[in-house]
Amino acid sequence: MKQFVNLLDLPSMEETLNLASKFKKNPFSEKEIGKHKTLLLLFFNASLRTRLSTEKAARNLGMEVVTLNVNDAWQLEFEEGAKMNLDTAEHVKEAAAVLSQFGDILAIRAFPSLTDKEKDASEFILTSFRKYASIPIVNMESATLHPLQGLTDAFTINELKLKQRPKVVLSWAPHTRALPHAVANSFVETMQQQEVDLVITHPKGYELNPAIVKDTKVVYDQELACKDADFIYVKNWSSYQDYGKVLNTDPNWMMDLDKLGNAKFMHCLPVRRNLVVADEVLDSDQSVVTQQAGNRTYIAQSVLYQLLKNILL
């Protein structure tokens, strides 16, 4: 594997999940592979789980870790041909080339603007770094995708499923702020490649990008959608059609024990209690959000391991 920007970069999703499983059993079994190698983590947006799990994954493999919060240091220019006489102090061409001098893998988090649909769709930050960096790039959540989370969710469902082909529901929930589509997109993309019955539910106007949803079943009635589910993954996102807008904050869409039924409750965290999901759900045994968060480490470790393997070829 030469990079990990989206799921298509994986030689095999199954192998990636198996490897994560192996690392969960024995996190330090490949501690030699990362010796004298450095992972750079570049955050354009704050992070807790992603930073901690990716750092831990790298250290489990024996790598050095350097974490950079971009906005602490300088503002980057991404425009080709820009005359840089205003606020930006360095062009991504130099930044990407220079970072490549000091690390062996470059992991990047860069959220969308949620104001410029086309620019966000172009993934200009991640794409620019891919173009100008000479080391492998890892997507730690970009404008439209969060594949490390999607893989973790598949991994967690595999750990917990009690039947061969569980029913999995992705349910929108209300939120006061406009949130990205990345987690929902990557969950849908991952589930489409797993042996599950996937149903998406959300209010009208919250349709995800049709290029992602494809022929996945969408049900606008949340209760109906959740009926007999084995896993319910709850997540807010802003409107995609009316790009980045909050059209609906209807509290009836909050997940509660009634709608949850016997399903396991999943969420990528952080989650706002009693807005997105009721206390009674998060505090119940059906919630698997902590296990989900913990699994992030092993998926990141699986991805980094495959990149290191390729570097050392």
Q: Which residues contact its own copies by CB under 8 A?
A: 27-28, 36, 38, 40, 46-49, 52-53, 55-56, 59, 64, 66, 68-69, 72-74, 77, 81-86, 88-91, 93-95, 97-103, 176, 269-275, 279, 282-283, 289-290, 293-294, 297
State the nearest-atom distance from the C-beta of 140 to its own copies, in Å: 14
Question: What is the Cα–Cα distance from 197 to 169, expressed in whole angstroms?
Answer: 8
User: Which tokens hold the place of 267?
Assistant: 């969420």
Of 50 and 194, CB closest to its own copies: 50
Question: What is the Cα–Cα distance from 290 to 293, expressed in whole angstroms?
Answer: 5
Of 33 and 66, CB closest to its own copies: 66
Element (DSSP H or E) covering residue 156? helix 147-160
State the nearest-atom distance from the C-beta of 56 to its own copies, in Å: 5
DSSP string across 94-134: HHHHHHHHH-SEEEEE----SS-HHHHHTTHHHHHHHHH-S
Q: What is the largest CA-CA distance in the chain?
A: 61
State the nearest-atom distance from the C-beta of 94 to its own copies, in Å: 6
Cis omega (within 30 of 0) on the bond before 11? no
State the nearest-atom distance from the C-beta of 145 to its own copies, in Å: 22
Of 68 and 219, CB closest to its own copies: 68
User: Which tokens hold the place of 279?
Assistant: 């206390």
Of 46 and 224, CB closest to its own copies: 46
State the nearest-atom distance from the C-beta of 262 to its own copies, in Å: 22
Of 250 and 279, CB closest to its own copies: 279
Q: What counts of helices (H) and strands (E) characterise the chain?
A: 13, 11
